[in-house]
Amino acid sequence: MKQVVIYDSTLRDGAQAQGISYTVEDKLKIVDRLDRLGVSYIEAGNPGSNPKDLEFFERAKKINYKNARLIAFGSTRKININVEDDANVSSLLAAGTSAVAIFGKSWDFQVTDILKTTLEENLNMIYDTIKFFTGRGIEVVYDAEHFFDGYAANPEYAVKTLKAAADAGASSLCLCDTKGGFLPMDIYDVTEKMVKLFDIPIGIHCHNDNGMAVACSVVAVQAGATQIQGTINGLGERCGNANLCSIIPTLQLMMGYSCIPEASMVELTATARAFSEIANVIFNERSPFVGKTAFAHKAGMHADAMHKNTSAYELVNPETVGNERIFLMSEVAGRSAILNIINKVEPSITRNSPETKLILSKLKEMEYEGYQYEGAECSFELIVRKILGKYRSFFELGEFKVIVNEPTSNVVNSTAMIKIKVDDQEEITAAEGDGPVNALDNAMRKALVRFYPRINEMKLTDFKVRVLDSTSATAAKVRVLIESTDGEEFWTTIGVSTDIIEASWKALVDSIEYKLSK
């Protein structure tokens, strides 16, 4: 298999995305996950830009990583000064990494109109900075910023910038589509020319402003590039960077390249989700390969075909990337999808069993009431268990009451009181929360934890409300979806009512019962 070096920039490029702010602890956790995934390089930040990155590199020096090498990122020296006197260069050296990434200008317009210097001085800046590090035995990855724009405007000068880097001892030359606007065929043509011109590895760094960063990265590899720069989940400035969670399985599972250790591929989905948790951003469930819907099947014909041969509608086996196949529950899903849930509870039941007809009938009845189990299969599984006599009641609700107070600064605004019964023991308790659902959740945990200590493992991660009939105004039914996790698995449950608190309660109870049933 041909080797492709995976160069992750989640901690540097990814940090430039709107709404992202890593702590040092966040960065250390993300590096650990990336190292476990088996990426070759981790561009961990710019030590010259902020004290946080300086602290990170100081702490990271003491950690031995199994697969990855950390890279400190920075620019060429400033105009008309000695490289030894440049503060940014000094901070890169102080970071103590065995490799650094240096970016410089490849577009003549950027040199003359943005940097306000001469084309010759820019070449000197590139050469001097890279020579400073290579002369000290430090590997240098050269990022040719705006390379494709520069090559389109002035190909001769753009190539000169690469030659300056190569002559100074750079270990690889990374071609950057910094504005993210080039098409795959253009990326292929230019990359192929650079591969033929230089005898050191060529890399590719694409932004996603035209939505083609993954495609451009893949075709660059086909043109001979052997290093791909990107981020987990495609996070980055503006529209983001090339998504490594799409690129890695595409190259390795579908095209025969080696990107990460084969045994690490099953970590891909967990890594993508863990990053979203650490960075506190909503995970895109429609992401290829790693999203919840990547291997979700709904239409009856599709689901039936999948039961016969999974290659009918899937690119790869979901287990190879640590994901799972889902058959969505709906009135158009057909018996095959429903049978998949039923057989999790009772494998002996077939599509023609009387129980299957009962469950189908119940599904249609519940959907008529406003329930929609697509994406909330855990609530449907509880219904199946009840119909099949496989349901265990973990607790009985006596009553609950929610009091919503007028919100004031830094003061919780809701209180929930609850009475439950477990076997023959009653528990009455109350808890406060930021809103009625949070208060109910807290009260439920407080009441149940002495009976079921492992309930402390779970937490709510998402809460969605949809009005089902807007013409009924405040009397309309609402559908509430609650997503929960125990740190290993995510699950979604549903509740429907004309009372938003009751709908939330139903979804919350299902969520807790699903956890306890595991």
Q: What is the pLDDT along the chain (518 residues), one digit of tens a residue?
A: 799 999 999 999 999 999 898 999 999 999 999 999 999 999 998 887 778 888 999 999 889 999 999 999 999 999 999 999 999 999 999 999 999 999 999 999 999 999 999 999 999 999 999 999 999 999 999 999 999 999 999 999 999 999 999 999 999 999 999 999 999 999 999 999 999 999 999 999 999 999 999 999 999 999 999 999 999 999 999 999 999 999 999 999 999 999 999 999 999 999 999 898 888 888 898 999 999 889 887 766 666 676 677 777 789 999 999 998 877 665 545 566 677 788 888 999 988 889 888 988 888 888 888 888 766 888 888 999 999 998 888 998 888 899 987 766 566 678 999 999 998 899 999 999 888 888 998 998 899 998 999 888 888 888 888 888 766 666 678 999 998 888 778 888 999 999 888 999 999 999 999 998 87
C-alpha to C-alpha distance for 273 and 286, rounded to whole angstroms: 12
Could you tell me which of 18, 471, 480 has the C-alpha nearest to residue 236? Answer: 18
- Do residues 343 and 349 touch, judged by C-beta distance below 8 A? yes
Q: Copy the structure tokens of residue 170.
A: 């750079």
- The widest CA-to-CA distance across the chain, in whole angstroms, is 85
3-class DSSP assignment, residue 501: helix
Identify the pLDDT of residue 408: 63
Neighbours of 160 (CB within 10 A): 18
Identify the pLDDT of residue 336: 62
C-alpha to C-alpha distance for 446 and 456, rounded to whole angstroms: 9
Query: What is the arrangement of strands in the sheet containing 459-467, beginning at the earlier edge strand?
Result: 459-467, 478-485, 490-497
Q: Copy the structure tokens of residue 68.
A: 């990855």
C-alpha to C-alpha distance for 423 and 427, rounded to whole angstroms: 11
Considering the entire predicted model, what is its pTM? 0.73
C-alpha to C-alpha distance for 236 and 365, rounded to whole angstroms: 45
Neighbours of 398 (CB within 10 A): 12
C-alpha to C-alpha distance for 12 and 236, rounded to whole angstroms: 9
Could you tell me which of 165, 209, 215, 159 has the C-alpha nearest to residue 187? Answer: 215
Domains in the chain, CATH or no CATH each: 2-279 (3.20.20.70), 296-387 (no CATH), 396-517 (3.30.160.270)
C-alpha to C-alpha distance for 310 and 314, rounded to whole angstroms: 6
